[in-house]
Amino acid sequence: MKRIIFTILTVLIAINLYAQRNVPGDYEIGFSVSGGLSALHFTTVNDNQSSPSFGYGFGWDVAVLFTEQWSLRTGLNMASYQASVIFDRQETRSHVTPKPQGLSDFSDPFYIIAKYSGYEERHEALYLRFPLMVQYRMAKYFYAAAGIQAGILTNGSYRIKSDGLVTEGYSEYTMQPYEGMHGFDNHLDVKSAKKPDFGFALSGAFETGVRWGFNNGMALYTGVFLDYCLNDVRKGNPKKESIVYNEEGKHTFNSILYSQNEEKPMTGKVQPLAVGLRLRLSMGFGK
């Protein structure tokens, strides 16, 4: 990550020196806002996909024109991602360690089986991103840009909610369930909230639209964009238990993004993506 930040800063300095030395006047400084559909995209083991929601972005950038058509653009921006996943019914099986009192002598694994109704997870993430884009202007008014964006998580959360939960214990030694004891019972209105453990995001980015130039050196860019993360942003492997047992029934819960069920991950890769509209107001300097 430090190398990426250093590289981006080096590019910024090089652009500034180039603008001052070689192409006086042919660079722009701009501010942008964007909005559209965004998601922390993932697929569950039963092929359910996360649902996108509204996401926003804003930032500033500097672009240097190498010719009348080609330019290099970089800067800083913030981007939000939101997503949700809902199950009418959800059942998980998690290891219990240590085992409940009176059952600790059993040598075989002991499980807590959780049966949810009306299960829902909502995820939010805010990323600080460093873009590096190559832009091409066509027929005076039209433009297209493509490149990469490196992002780091600045804030985020996920919330778990279930209308109902029934838990029971199961021992492979006795091969029988345990209900109404040791914290295995009915639980109503389950809620949990935590911060996600997300890391570095490297996204491919594309944007195209119309550039409206004005006589005072200002320009308004109106376009559509697509950002798609190329890597899994989760840190580590998703090997947590989806429900952490408590003998008093005060169980805690982990997101399906980090959990396994019967020793299999509950979701695939988590990849931020966004598509929408972007407005950029820029000011040209020099000539």
- Global pTM? 0.81
How far from 188 is each of 8, 90, 93, 165, 253, CA to CA, in Å?
Answer: 50, 15, 19, 6, 14
The reply to whether omega before 98 is within 30° of 0 (cis) is yes
More confident residue, 5 or 134: 134
From the list 281, 244, 240, 245, the residue with the least C-alpha distance to 261 is: 240
- Tokens 């805010």 belong to 126
How many domains, the chain? Answer: 1
Q: What is the pLDDT of residue 126?
A: 94
Residues spanned by the domain of 19:
2-285
pLDDT in tens, 29-77: 999 999 999 988 888 877 677 888 899 999 999 998 888 888 999 999 9
Residue 8 contacts residue 77 (beta carbons within 8 Å): no
Per the DSSP assignment, residues forming a β-bridge with 87 are 119
- The C-alpha atoms of residue 152 and residue 32 are separated, in whole angstroms, by 19
Distance of CA 162 to the CA centre of its chain: 23
- Of the candidates 90, 110, 108, 92, the one whose C-alpha atom is nearest the C-alpha of residue 100 is 110
Would you say 82 and 138 are in contact if contact means Cβ atoms under 8 Å apart?
no
In tens, the pLDDT along 2-25 reads 555 555 555 555 555 444 444 434
